[in-house]
């Protein structure tokens, strides 16, 4: 592709917007391959650390953008995107910029890869020129987002080489990334044999300190845990013959009220199995009792020394591994296997690792690694000749991430507690190995009668708290009922002091006897003038999908109660909230609502889509889903 103008770029800039870390992984791969290709200057920056007003001064920029929920941009992209949407920016504002966009998304969600698509269109509107068409990574692909990233990167390097050959003088090195080029680790570890005077005893401070020096967690800026809660209730909501294990957890601060609101999300840092952490440390021939400091090598040596002494204390290696490195549940990335191949001393192991990271071995690596959900510890144990320096392990081991759960209690009713509704995750791999979700399994194993401390952060969720006067249509099958338990409990408490609007709630499960979550709670609020009662203008409707020959789902109950739903939606302020699985449910519910509007409301089909879009734009049709 020949550009209309070819500025002399001082660098290739890679800007990423990540929420969970996948976009960082992809962006770092862009940088690695550019460096291998001989690019004289490559810079990697988070979008929220780059001033968008400087964009016209850049020559070549690669954007790597992830997707949140139903098509929302990551938090780190929001200010950048807000600036790009300014009306005064003209159609020639970015006429000297050459760019490429790669998005990370999941086609099972609505508005697939929307942030990347919107960014690409806006850059074009502002006069920038595409280097190659946007790439769209899909978690549903057999190779995950890398299924699209591999060919997209190859096309990017070839096109960039044609536009500006000196930017990538060794283009073959960038394209064939399996070349035997190791390079240096990007972090430096300093070891101390004995504790320093300022060793940390407070658990909250210890967690913050460990995670603040982790290079893999640098984008999260999470601070110390807001809360250290005690589990006081661990109740199984499903019956023994159900193949699901759904728990009701009650977490408590016994000293102070907890500040949260309806629709909030609780993030939990799970604990890894201590024996597995010990096994990892032993396998890697590390000293669990030594103290360490970790710095990125790009930091200036002088400032590094003062920073280490004045701001950050050394931390015990075992503590750092346990709190920051996911060695027991997350699968390593392909780059992990590539670096392993450099340290393998057994020729058969080296050959297998090199094959895994070659273009021909990608499918086999995916089957071996991601499909089997192999952990870092398992992979290292299967390649015993590999002894990676701790610097590389720190850089490449997936970070121990917090897990987010919708809060299912009202702060008005439980000021010192937070309730959660959690499905304890387990599954069988293609090789019939049983795997367990790290956080849900850990929580399920905690005993309320014993001392247990759970590090927590409260975050605003995507379900805004409704005012008491707003009529609600709530749709939450399975554990999607969790936030709506909060809504109902809160409104019931509000109704004691002031008039409140009614609620229609549609719940779904497989069997009435096995997994009717919070059965007594819903039924109590659906009678005796409760907020879900028909007398109050509300209603509670359950779809038991497996209790009859023909399966019945929440969307069938919505259509069955179409007149009630339409009557509720006729209110000028009424809002629809949907929560639950991201698979087919949100789309099926949307179709059911369209049918209700057409059949009961007399809306022409051509107007229904626009009406629902208007509701979404006005914050009155809100969907929160998870995989």
pLDDT value, residue 196: 54
* Burial (0-12, 13-18, 19+ Cβ within 10 Å), 446: middle
pLDDT value, residue 179: 54
pLDDT value, residue 610: 86
Q: Are 559 and 595 in contact (CB under 8 A)?
A: yes
The mean per-residue pLDDT over the stretch 34-46 comes to 88
pLDDT value, residue 298: 62
The mean per-residue pLDDT over the stretch 102-131 comes to 91
For the chain, counts of helices (H) and of strands (E): 21, 22
pLDDT value, residue 375: 97
List Cβ neighbours of 53 (8 Å cut-off, separation of 6 or more): 83
pLDDT value, residue 216: 83
Domain 12-175: assigned CATH number:
3.40.50.360
Instruction: Kindly report the length of the chain.
Output: 627
Which contiguous run of DSSP H or E holds residue 175?
helix 171-175
Topology (CATH) of 472-626: Rossmann fold (3.40.50)
Of 190, 25, 217, 193, which Cα lies nearest the Cα of 208? 217
Residue 100 pLDDT class (50, 70, 90 cuts): very high
Question: How far, in Å, CA of 364 to CA of 80, rounded?
Answer: 39
The mean per-residue pLDDT over the stretch 130-140 comes to 92
Q: Is the pLDDT of residue 603 over 90?
A: no
Residue 5 pLDDT class (50, 70, 90 cuts): very low
Q: Is the pLDDT of residue 477 over 70?
A: yes
Residue 134 CA, distance from chain mean position: 22
Question: How far, in Å, CA of 18 to CA of 399, rounded?
Answer: 14
pLDDT value, residue 299: 41
Domain residues of the chain, as ranges?
12-175, 227-268+402-459, 272-396, 472-626
In the three-class reduction of DSSP (H, G, I as helix; E, B as strand; rest coil), residue 433 is classed as: coil
The mean per-residue pLDDT over the stretch 159-183 comes to 76
Tens digits of residue pLDDT in 463-472: 999 999 999 9
> pTM here?
0.87
List Cβ neighbours of 93 (8 Å cut-off, separation of 6 or more): 56, 126, 127
pLDDT value, residue 302: 33
- Angle subtended at Cα 225 by Cα 292 and Cα 264, rounded to the nearest 5 degrees: 145
Q: Is the pLDDT of residue 190 over 90?
A: yes
In the three-class reduction of DSSP (H, G, I as helix; E, B as strand; rest coil), residue 579 is classed as: strand
pLDDT value, residue 146: 83
Decide if 12-175 and 472-626 have a common fold: yes
pLDDT value, residue 310: 40
Residue 6 pLDDT class (50, 70, 90 cuts): very low
Residue 194 pLDDT class (50, 70, 90 cuts): low
Please tell me the chain's helix, strand, coil percentages from 3-state DSSP, rounded to the nearest 5: 35, 20, 45
pLDDT value, residue 571: 82
Question: How far, in Å, CA of 280 to CA of 377, rounded?
Answer: 6
High-pLDDT (> 90) share of the chain, %? 65
Question: How far, in Å, CA of 571 to CA of 574, rounded?
Answer: 5
Tens digits of residue pLDDT in 521-540: 999 999 988 999 999 999 99
**Phi, psi at 138, each rounded to 5°:** -130, 120
Q: Are 95 and 78 in contact (CB under 8 A)?
A: no
The mean per-residue pLDDT over the stretch 482-487 comes to 97
Task: Pick the range with the lowest mean pLDDT from 22-26, 371-375, 513-517.
Answer: 22-26
State the architecture of 227-268+402-459 in CATH terms.
Beta Barrel (2.40)
The mean per-residue pLDDT over the stretch 310-338 comes to 89
The mean per-residue pLDDT over the stretch 100-121 comes to 90
Whose tokens are 């009650």? That residue is: 250
Q: Is the pLDDT of residue 321 over 90?
A: yes
Dihedral angle of Cα 593, 597, 600, 601, to the nearest 10 degrees: 150
pLDDT value, residue 4: 39
Tens digits of residue pLDDT in 405-442: 999 999 999 999 999 999 999 999 999 999 999 999 99
Of residues 68 and 305, more confidence is placed in 68
Of 437, 435, 400, which Cα lies nearest the Cα of 21? 400
Task: Pick the range with the lowest mean pLDDT from 120-124, 309-313, 550-554, 598-602.
Answer: 309-313
H-type alpha helices, 238-346? 274-283, 301-310, 317-324, 334-343
Residue 41 pLDDT class (50, 70, 90 cuts): confident
The CATH class of 272-396 is: mainly alpha
């Amino acid at each position: 592709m020949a550009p209309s103008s070819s500025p002399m770029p001082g660098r290739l800039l890679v800007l990423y917007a990540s929420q969970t870390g996948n976009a960082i992984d992809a962006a770092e791969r862009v940088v690695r391959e550019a460096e291998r290709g001989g690019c004289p200057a490559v810079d990697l920056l988070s979008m929220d650390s780059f001033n968008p007003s400087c964009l016209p001064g850049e020559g070549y920029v690669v954007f790597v953008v992830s997707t949140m929920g139903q098509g929302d941009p990551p938090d780190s992209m929001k200010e950048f995107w807000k600036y790009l949407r300014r009306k005064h920016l003209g159609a020639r504002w970015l006429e000297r910029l050459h760019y490429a966009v790669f998005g990370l998304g999941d086609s099972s969600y609505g508005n697939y890869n929307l942030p990347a698509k919107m960014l690409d269109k806006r850059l074009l509107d502002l006069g920038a020129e595409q280097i190659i068409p946007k790439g769209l990574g899909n978690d549903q692909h057999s190779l995950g987002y890398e299924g699209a990233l591999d060919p997209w990167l190859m096309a990017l390097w070839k096109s960039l080489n044609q536009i500006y050959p000196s930017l990538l003088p060794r283009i073959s090195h960038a394209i064939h990334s399996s070349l035997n080029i190791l390079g240096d680790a990007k972090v430096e570890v300093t070891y101390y044999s004995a504790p320093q005077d300022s060793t940390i005893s407070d658990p909250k401070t210890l967690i913050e300190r460990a995670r603040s020096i982790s290079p893999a967690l640098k984008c999260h800026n999470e601070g110390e845990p807001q809360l250290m809660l005690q589990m006081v209730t661990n109740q199984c909501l499903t019956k023994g013959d159900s193949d699901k294990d759904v728990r009701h957890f009650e977490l408590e601060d016994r000293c102070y009220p907890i500040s949260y609101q309806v629709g909030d999300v609780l993030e939990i840092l799970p604990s890894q199995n201590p024996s597995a952490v010990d096994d990892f440390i032993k396998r890697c021939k590390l000293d669990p009792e030594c103290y360490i400091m970790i710095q990125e090598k790009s930091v200036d040596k002088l400032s590094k020394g003062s920073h280490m002494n004045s701001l950050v204390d050394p931390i015990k290696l075992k503590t750092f591994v346990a709190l920051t490195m996911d060695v027991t549940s997350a699968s390593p990335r392909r780059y992990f296997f590539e670096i392993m191949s450099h340290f393998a001393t057994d020729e058969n192991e080296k050959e297998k690792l090199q094959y895994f990271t070659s273009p021909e071995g990608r499918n086999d690596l995916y089957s071996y690694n991601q499909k089997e959900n192999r952990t870092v510890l398992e992979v290292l144990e299967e390649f015993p000749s590999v002894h990676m320096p701790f610097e590389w392990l720190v850089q490449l081991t997936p970070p121990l991430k917090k897990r987010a759960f919708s809060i299912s209690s009202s702060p008005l009713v439980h000021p010192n507690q937070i309730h959660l509704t959690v499905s304890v995750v387990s599954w069988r791999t293609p090789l019939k190995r049983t795997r367990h979700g790290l956080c849900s399994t850990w929580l399920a194993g905690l005993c309320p009668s014993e001392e247990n401390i759970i590090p927590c952060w409260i975050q605003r969720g995507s379900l805004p708290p409704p005012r008491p006067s707003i009529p609600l249509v709530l749709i939450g099958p399975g554990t999607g009922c969790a936030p709506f338990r909060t809504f109902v409990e809160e409104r019931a408490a509000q109704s004691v002091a002031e008039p409140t609007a009614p609620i229609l709630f549609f719940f779904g499960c497989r069997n009435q006897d096995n997994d009717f979550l919070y059965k007594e709670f819903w039924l109590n609020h659906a009678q005796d003038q409760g907020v879900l009662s028909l007398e109050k203008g509300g209603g509670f409707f359950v779809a038991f999908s497996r209790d009859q020959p023909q399966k019945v789902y929440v969307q069938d109950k919505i259509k069955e109660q179409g007149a009630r739903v339409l009557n509720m939606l006729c209110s000028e302020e009424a809002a629809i909230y949907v929560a639950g699985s991201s698979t087919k449910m949100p789309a099926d519910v949307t179709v059911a609502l369209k049918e209700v509007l057409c059949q009961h409301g007399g809306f022409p089909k051509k107007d229904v889509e626009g009406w629902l879009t208007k509701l979404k734009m006005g914050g009155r049709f809100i969907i929160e889903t998870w995989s």
